[in-house]
Structure 1
């Protein structure tokens, strides 16, 4: 057996490693933060695979960990599937495939967030709690326990088998794509799709409402309605582009969040902005 094949065999992710990842995936949402959303939870889930792949090579391990500290946000039930795909890519590509790994994560997190929200939050959770409510109509915790049990009977296996399927399908996908030379094309498409989806969320996630009004006789002109009538969503877009520019210039995201919060409170007190 060649040295390369021996090294790949030694670094192969075993079922026990995937089980460790699954156990950590159950605590995935415990470290959500405003700066990069679910990045800490995703890295925490990935650590067993990264330790298996990179061993005690500190520089290689550090590079991989930094890569998974990038912004990440998706539905928690879908995260293990993406983690499985990322683990397969780490195993096959290593740090040399860092751009592809980040691109696949960005490309998958948006669509799977939409699917997870629709199937879990908007379908499974209401159904299960409706059933539970019927058992707690006269009070008591039985209905709550039933609802939680029903949700997790479906939710937990989805995470477990999603992780396993993501890893197995990810390995097969990488091998087939490498053979055809299409991985770079797919990566670029995934990045583009992810950016389009994230950009489409800006008007929903960034809210700026002006409170200024101009009065001419009985005519009242709202600045907010005037802007929305001319270019809907332009203020959230401009604010987001400004933040991206400042981050690229080296400004800390935490600093920008604090400044934005203070500015919003001050402008609202002055009547320039209003609570939507």
Structure 2
């Protein structure tokens, strides 16, 4: 091993290469080849012996696939391990990557790909419907902040090494649960304020006119919008195409309005 230690500049260079490295994927080794490209300058500095470098690179060529937003936590930690123990750490490095890429992907995919777009997209859509562009800029600002924080996660992973997940495990679970609850609350409020489904049916009893919509509102306000969203979500889970659902909603709305079932 080389006596030289990695500098902040080396870690930053690796972190910046990460942006490009995670943009490719193959079904044989996942993003392993691009992770090798990402880590190579730092590994070259760690390993002065070419044979040791080849052993490390071959290890990193093994299957690896993790959410790109949280992957720097793992790869940063692997650099710290290899810098400390060299080729002796190769098996531990692989075990770390294999053990953490699944859990961190679950957390990252849930928060970054599902919760955040759902919450901030719904807020942006609701505000945009009223002519307020602030929600759109909030959406953009949040994702830009997360995007530019990714190199920082590299430093976090490198500095904390294998102790990272042990320290943050329970906190990450609590954070994920909190974001899930917040997402459900936001979607519920957006459905109530944005989706407009009302029935026009009415009944005449003893000279008193009663509308079906008033009865439904007494049972549960915005019941029909909630049912519509639930049905559409169920159909999406059943792999029904979005275009098909949109056309179905348009046709059903037109037919329902024609017979008086729905009203504007």
TM-score (norm 1): 0.52
Indicate the residue corresponding to 1:22 in structure 2: 15
Indicate the residue corresponding to 1:222 in structure 2: none
Indicate the residue corresponding to 2:161 in structure 1: 170
User: 2:75 aligned to 75, 83, 95, which one?
Assistant: 83
Indicate the residue corresponding to 2:41 in structure 1: 48
Q: Which runs of 5+ in 1 are unaligned?
A: 174-276
Q: For the residues of structure 1 that align with 2:121 and 2:18, how far apart are their CA atoms?
A: 23
Segment of structure 1 superposing worse, 163-172 or 69-78 = 163-172
Q: For the residues of structure 2 that align with 1:79 and 1:105, how far apart are their CA atoms?
A: 9
Which of 1 and 2 has greater Rg?
A: 2
Tell me how large the CA RMSD over aligned residues is: 2.7
Q: For the residues of structure 1 that align with 2:128 and 2:61, how far apart are their CA atoms?
A: 42
Q: For the residues of structure 1 that align with 2:130 and 2:66, how far apart are their CA atoms?
A: 37
2:138 is equivalent to residue 113 of structure 1? no
- Give how far 1:137 is off: 5.0
2:24 is equivalent to residue 31 of structure 1? yes
Contact 1:78 1:116 in 2 (8 A): yes
**1:151-230 alignment runs, 5 A limit:** 151-157=143-149, 159-170=150-161
Which string of whole-angstrom CA distances, capped at 9 and with x for unpartnered residues, describes residues 195-228 of structure 1?
xxxxxxxxxxxxxxxxxxxxxxxxxxxxxxxxxx
- Give how far 1:143 is off: 7.7
Q: For the residues of structure 2 that align with 1:37 and 1:103, how far apart are their CA atoms?
A: 16
Q: 1:86 to 1:119 in 2, by over 3 A?
A: same
Indicate the residue corresponding to 2:202 in structure 1: none
Indicate the residue corresponding to 1:268 in structure 2: none
Indicate the residue corresponding to 1:71 in structure 2: 63
Q: Which runs of 5+ in 2 are unaligned?
A: 165-264
Indicate the residue corresponding to 1:58 in structure 2: 50
Which string of whole-angstrom CA distances, capped at 9 and with x for unpartnered residues, describes residues 160-203 of structure 1?
22211111111778xxxxxxxxxxxxxxxxxxxxxxxxxxxxxx
Indicate the residue corresponding to 1:238 in structure 2: none
